[in-house]
């Protein structure tokens, strides 16, 4: 299938949107830009650095020094090419996701073939066919290229475009068995946004499965490679800042302590605006444990045989519960959902979740205008919409996981819903 028209349409649409009169509005939207990825804050940090002022001394710049140097070079040498660079990087992300999904499909085919002996006779027809599997990479590509969230993320020229590219390359590297590639890019993504550290677990499992080596040794090599790469990123960043590690407080520290409570599509800002200050540390720890550590162990224990599903779910959960999320993060994990097209028939809440996404995406800007510009609403209205948006995402993830469990049960026990000759009912607990 010729994919060039898809790339051309998506790239031209993004390029056109950047050059419309709405670009400034898009780049400043709270759904698109956050204190971490904002284009406005990025150029401010570059301006300060260019004039010999440490951009990390204030409270305006929170990108890593590596990103600072990269955009300092681009803004000095080729500022007129920046819109083209952002568009091409987003198209490259879509292409790498396309390549990664092909590798994921190959892994799924091998897993399905090896498990045929354990499948009930009346469930053979439920196996995914070659033609169905071959369609999936096209769906993944299209879902990323034409997703409105990805469109707005690129049009706003946020640094989430680069983070999505790093995540895509790390997933592709893991699915292809390239440990060095996966470790380097997941370390770069972690250095930029911290939360991608969760992907070390599924990437380690995926590399061990693909390379079919000694699992324990493979896990150790992957973990060691990640730690070394991340440590090198921290060292290089300190070298850029003349040997100072003070930047860590305004990057990792800013993500963890959440000092900027400007509204966004996340859950942190409203809670910490309303909270008494002496409870702040307790709830910061509780929220960050929820985002960084709470789900990794139980999900890994249950879905260790499905590392691609585990990676998809962890990306989604970190997007929902991170301190400064944006629609670009949401668009990235939504592009991975077509990998689980064979589970859609087992999902029960597709319509509800779809309607919730549409309604909250439309209501968010509306309520924001009523609150900020018209003065006829307040923060409760906007937080209600963001809370509904987060709830819809949680429903989506739980429905996907339960659909996997139901399909797994049906393949093993047949579609008669009987266990030991008695009617059975599958209940999520």
Range of the domain at 297: 4-423
Q: By the 8 A CB rule, do 338 and 139 touch?
A: yes
- Reference 312, options 406, 237, 388, 202; nearest CA is 202
Q: Is the dihedral of CA 251, 56, 331, 136 positive or negative?
A: negative
Q: By the 8 A CB rule, do 199 and 128 touch?
A: no
Provide the pLDDT for residue 82: 95
What's 279's DSSP letter? G
In a domain, 183, yes or no: yes
How far is 154 from 89, CA to CA, in rounded Å?
9
Helix (H) or strand (E) holding 364: helix 350-368
| Both tokens assigned to 155 | 């049009």
How far is 407 from 415, CA to CA, in rounded Å?
9
Provide the pLDDT for residue 409: 85
| Both tokens assigned to 76 | 């000095």
Provide the pLDDT for residue 402: 94
In a domain, 429, yes or no: no
Q: How many domains does the chain have?
A: 1
Provide the pLDDT for residue 424: 63
- Reference 129, options 428, 289, 341; nearest CA is 341
Rg of the Cα atoms in the chain = 22
How far is 329 from 164, CA to CA, in rounded Å?
7
Provide the pLDDT for residue 429: 58
- Reference 160, options 53, 38, 43; nearest CA is 38
How far is 390 from 353, CA to CA, in rounded Å?
11
Provide the pLDDT for residue 144: 96
Provide the pLDDT for residue 264: 93
Per-residue pLDDT of the chain (429 residues; tens, 9 = 90+): 678 999 999 999 999 999 998 899 999 999 999 999 999 999 999 999 999 899 998 888 999 999 999 999 999 999 999 999 999 999 999 999 999 999 999 888 888 777 777 777 766 777 777 777 888 999 999 999 999 999 999 999 999 999 999 999 999 999 999 999 999 999 999 999 999 999 999 999 999 988 876 567 888 999 999 999 999 999 999 999 999 999 999 999 999 999 999 999 999 999 999 888 888 999 999 999 999 989 999 999 999 989 999 999 999 999 999 999 999 999 999 999 999 998 998 999 999 999 999 999 999 999 999 999 988 888 999 999 999 999 999 999 999 999 999 988 888 877 666 666 666 665 655
3-state SS, 109-148, equals HHHHHHCHHHCCHHHHHHCCCHHHHHHHHHHHHHHHHCCH
In a domain, 302, yes or no: yes
Q: By the 8 A CB rule, do 43 and 182 touch?
A: no
How far is 19 from 9, CA to CA, in rounded Å?
15
How far is 164 from 170, CA to CA, in rounded Å?
10
SS3 422: strand
In a domain, 113, yes or no: yes
Q: What is the pTM of this model?
A: 0.93
Q: How far is CA 93 from CA 143, 188, 335, 365, 427, in A?
A: 12, 15, 11, 27, 38
In a domain, 221, yes or no: yes
Count of CB atoms situated within 10 Å of the CB of 176: 18
In a domain, 428, yes or no: no
Q: By the 8 A CB rule, do 13 and 151 touch?
A: yes
In a domain, 107, yes or no: yes
How far is 235 from 33, CA to CA, in rounded Å?
28
């Amino acid at each position: 299938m010729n994919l060039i028209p898809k790339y051309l349409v998506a790239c031209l649409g993004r390029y056109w949107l950047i050059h419309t009169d709405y670009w400034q509005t898009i780049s400043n939207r709270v759904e698109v830009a956050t204190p971490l990825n904002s284009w406005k804050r990025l150029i401010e940090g570059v301006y300060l650095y260019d004039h010999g002022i440490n951009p990390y001394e204030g409270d305006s710049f929170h990108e890593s020094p590596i990103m600072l140097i990269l955009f300092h070079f681009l803004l000095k040498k080729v500022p007129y090419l920046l819109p083209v660079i952002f568009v091409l990087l987003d198209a490259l992300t879509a292409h790498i996701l396309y390549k990664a999904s092909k590798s994921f499909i190959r892994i799924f085919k091998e897993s399905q073939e090896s498990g045929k002996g354990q499948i009930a006779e009346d469930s053979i027809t439920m196996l995914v066919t070659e033609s169905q599997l071959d369609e999936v990479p096209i769906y993944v590509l299209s879902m990323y290229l034409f997703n409105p969230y990805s469109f707005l993320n690129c049009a706003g020229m946020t640094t989430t475009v680069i983070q999505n590219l790093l995540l895509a390359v790390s997933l592709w590297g893991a699915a292809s068995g390239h440990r060095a590639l996966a470790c380097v890019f997941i370390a770069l993504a972690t250095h930029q946004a911290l939360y991608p550290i969760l992907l070390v677990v599924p990437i380690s499992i995926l590399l061990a499965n693909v390379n079919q080596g000694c699992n324990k040794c493979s896990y150790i090599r992957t973990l060691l490679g990640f730690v070394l790469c991340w440590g090198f990123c921290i060292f290089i960043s300190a070298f850029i800042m003349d040997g100072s590690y003070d930047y860590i407080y305004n990057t990792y520290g800013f993500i963890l302590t959440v000092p900027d409570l400007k509204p966004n599509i996340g859950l942190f800002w409203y809670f910490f605006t309303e909270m008494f200050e002496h409870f702040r540390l307790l709830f910061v720890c509780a929220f960050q444990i929820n985002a960084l550590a709470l789900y990794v162990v139980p999900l890994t224990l249950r879905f260790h045989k499905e590392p691609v599903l585990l990676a998809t779910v962890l990306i989604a959960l970190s997007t929902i519960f991170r301190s400064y999320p944006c629609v670009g993060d949401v668009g990235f994990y939504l592009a991975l959902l077509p990998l689980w097209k064979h589970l859609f028939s087992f999902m029960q809440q597709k319509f509800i979740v779809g309607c919730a996404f549409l309604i909250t995406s439309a209501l968010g800007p509306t309520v924001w205008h009523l609150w900020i510009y018209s003065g006829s609403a307040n923060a409760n209205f906007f937080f209600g919409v963001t809370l509904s948006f987060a709830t819809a995402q949680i429903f989506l993830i739980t429905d996907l996981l339960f659909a996997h469990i139901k399909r797994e049960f049906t393949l093993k026990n047949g579609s008669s819903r009987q266990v030991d000759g008695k009617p059975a009912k599958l209940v999520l607990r």
